[in-house]
Amino acid sequence: MAKTMLGVEVLTGGEATAHAMRQIRPDVVPVYPITPQTPIIQTFSRFVADGKVDTVLLQVESEHSAMSAAVGAALAGGRTMTATASQGLALMVEIIYIAAGLRAPIVMAVGNRALSAPINIHGDHSDGMLARDSGAVQIFAENAQEAYDLMVMAPRVAEHPAVLLPVLVGQDGFSVTHSAENVALLRDEEVQDFVGPYEIPYPLLGERPSSQGLFAMPDAYYEIKVRQVQALEAAEQVFADVARAYALRFGRHLGAIDAYRMEDAERAIVLIGSTAGTAKDVVDELRERGEKVGLVVLRLFRPFPHKALADALGGVQRVAVLDRAAAPGSFPPLFADIRAGYSGSAELRSYVYGLGGRDTAPQDIEKVFAELQRPAHGGIRYLGLTGEDQHGES
């Protein structure tokens, strides 16, 4: 593990995330180990053991209890963070919905991993999609640097008075959590100053007694739910503001979307997460050959930045949406979202890729761009599948 020091260090995404947590200095971190989240919590536990951070670390007996303890701690009045992946996120989902409903601004790192069965520890976005409609803000990082930056930004989004919702910061299992890269860390005091103090309206350990988690009948439930929906919608502007503040201060701008060489693009790929790195290389190569191709990477997945995405797609004619998760029985989640909210003229095509950590090579991305030159295939294409399985239909 790298030493704590200022400047650029070689860190895995998991380690970089643990550094962000150390620098944020949450009051409580309840957590339960699961691959590929383990580098986050092992690194953070080491920081606690070495006296580098004085957070109360709760080693609970399940992810369900991790999220439950997080709700208790966050609403009691303490800044609370946790981390999980895959089956752990699945076990947490019940309480993520409740955390959102109780407006508990918990920040959670997710090492995105496939869901069982078959059991598989490698990266895809199926776990994140389980929490899609929970009411939590969901952000995805492309690499270790983004995992770090987004983690530092997350508390300000979560705790904004107009939001007060959990924030999930995803990074692809292994390809980000376990891959070492150069990561530029901020100074501890800069991070402390950027996130500011933790303030919520009615802390249980505050001056005014309050009852939280009441039973709401049909005369009240609907209004409460719609306000929660509006809070998530408000998070889009808050995220943009926090990203701008972060860029002004630290020089790195992480907006809701990352539009890569889209200026005059005719064909584009839209995707989430670490495959963006490979796709950017392919775009560069094809651009050198004179092909007008581009890439849009979504960082903010919930709330969905429909307008920013439409703006980025601009005059594109054909778009391939690459989902690293399936939605059996219908179109996969990212494609479904884009199709639902996009009113531009581009033709949208759906691809699924990389389930259970299947590698996505530059050739796969090239193939997608090549297919975009040909007539529409209809249905869903399964990229990188072997043999005859690749022409799945929906």
Partner 1 sequence: MASLKELALREEERPRFTGGHSLCAGCGIPTIVRTVLDSIPGPVVAVNATGCLEVATTRFPFTAWGVPWLHVAFENAAAVASGVEAAYRSMVHRGKLSGERVTIVVFAGDGGTYDIGLQALSGALERGHRFLYVCYDNEAYMNTGIQRSGATPFAASTTTSPVGSVGRGKAETRKDLTAIVVAHHIPYAAQASTSHWQDLSVKVERAVAQEGPSFLNVLSTCPPGWGHDARDGARLARLAVESRYWPLFEVVDGHYRLTHYPAHPTALVEWLEMQKRFSHLRGIQSVDLESMIEREIMSQWQELERRTQESRSWFEERESESA
319: alpha, beta or left? (left if phi > 0; alpha if psi -120 to 50): beta
Give me the residue label for tokens 């930045």.
Answer: 305
Q: Which residues contact 230 (CB under 8 A, 6 or more apart)?
A: none
Tell whether residue 55 is a contact of partner 1 (CB under 8 A). yes
Q: Which stretch binds partner 1 (CB under 8 A): 24-32, 149-157, 182-190, 297-305?
A: 24-32
Tell whether residue 74 is a contact of partner 1 (CB under 8 A). yes
Q: Which is nearer to partner 1, 27 or 291 (CB)?
A: 27
| CB of 222 vs partner 1, minimal distance in Å | 12
Pairing between β-strand 257-260 and β-strand 267-271 as defined by DSSP bridges = unpaired
**Chain CA centroid to CA 117, Å:** 23
Tell whether residue 64 is a contact of partner 1 (CB under 8 A). yes
172 phi, psi to nearest 5 deg = -65, 135
Q: Which of 6, 199, 201, 212 binds partner 1 (CB under 8 A)?
A: 212
Return the structure tokens found at 282. Answer: 């392919």
Q: Which is nearer to partner 1, 25 or 287 (CB)?
A: 25
Tell whether residue 95 is a contact of partner 1 (CB under 8 A). yes
**Chain CA centroid to CA 227, Å:** 23
- Comparing C-alpha atoms, which of 68, 9, 76 is closest to residue 43? 9
- 240-299 binders of partner 1 (CB under 8 A): none
Q: Which of 10, 49, 119, 224 binds partner 1 (CB under 8 A)?
A: 224
- Comparing C-alpha atoms, which of 239, 276, 242 is closest to residue 260? 276
Number of shown-chain residues binding partner 1 (CB under 8 A): 43
Tell whether residue 217 is a contact of partner 1 (CB under 8 A). yes
Q: Which stretch binds partner 1 (CB under 8 A): 67-75, 170-178, 187-195, 241-249?
A: 67-75
106 phi, psi to nearest 5 deg = -90, 135
Tell whether residue 71 is a contact of partner 1 (CB under 8 A). yes
| CB of 17 vs partner 1, minimal distance in Å | 20
| CB of 134 vs partner 1, minimal distance in Å | 14
Residue type, 56: V
Residue 201 is given by DSSP the state S
Tell whether residue 211 is a contact of partner 1 (CB under 8 A). yes
- Comparing C-alpha atoms, which of 98, 96, 81, 92 is closest to residue 23? 81
Which residues contribute to the site for partner 1 (CB under 8 A)?
27-28, 30, 54-56, 58-62, 64-66, 68-78, 80, 94-95, 98, 102, 204-205, 209-217, 220, 224
